[in-house]
Amino acid sequence: MDEYRTRDPFEIFKVWLAEAAESEPNDPEAMCLATADARGRPSARMVLLKGIDARGLAFYTNVESRKGGELIANPFAALCFHWKSLRRQIRAEGSIEAVSTGEADAYFASRARVSQIGALASDQSRPLDRRETLEAKVAEIERRYAGQAVPRPDYWSGFRLVPDAIEFWHDRPYRLHDRIRFERTAGGWQAERLYP
């Protein structure tokens, strides 16, 4: 991986993601999102990457969910992608910013209609007495918006992780793995090799 040391980590990331899309059977864009609450207690869950550019890595959620609340209260997070078939992992750490209203609207409009309805029906992360309650809410929202566009609710939007560090890990025999860590500096990105 020495050839990566002088390149833009986002370029490398996009290459690895494209290769994962060709080899992973399900959700190559799945990533573990780690957050912490106001007391510093960590929490992690899988979410889907929905955008990558020079600004960072974007994902969408109910901002009133547990993860949304944690990201608002403590706007720092870490992401981890692991592609077992490729024996690769990418970790990213940094600050969190909200995506723009236009970005949230555009992504919401691109979702399947049933997913849009689900965003309206779900009080994400809150207690649910039984499955039938959720199914009834879905049916009611389907009736309410029959024949018309489903609006994006105010509480459904996105976040962008703005990385200050990105690490690329590639499995090697006998646990002598390759690790390259990029850190953002005032002059751009600086890379260094790490011991496995």
Which CATH class, in words, describes the domain spanning 2-98+156-193? Answer: mainly beta
pLDDT confidence of residue 71: 97
How far from the centroid of its chain's Cα atoms is residue 155's Cα? 17
Average pLDDT in the 33-39 region?
Answer: 94
pLDDT confidence of residue 38: 86
Average pLDDT in the 118-142 region?
Answer: 95
pLDDT confidence of residue 1: 56
pLDDT confidence of residue 60: 98
pLDDT in tens, 147-188: 999 999 999 999 999 999 999 999 998 888 999 999 999 989
Scanning the structure block, which residue is given the tokens 């995506």? 99
Alpha helices in 122-169 (DSSP H): 131-144
pLDDT confidence of residue 2: 56
pLDDT confidence of residue 113: 97
Active site residue 152: no
Is-contact 159 97, C-beta < 8 A? yes
Average pLDDT in the 112-119 region?
Answer: 97
Nearest residue to 193 via CA among 181, 175, 176, 177 = 181
Cα angle vertex 130, ends 125, 132, to 5°?
A: 110
Q: Which of 66, 88, 175, 181 is catalytic?
A: 175
pLDDT at 189 over 90: yes
- The pTM score is 0.92
Q: What is the mean pLDDT of the chain?
A: 95
Confidence of residue 105 (pLDDT cuts 50, 70, 90): very high
Confidence of residue 19 (pLDDT cuts 50, 70, 90): very high
How many other CB atoms sit within 10 Å of the CB of residue 28?
21
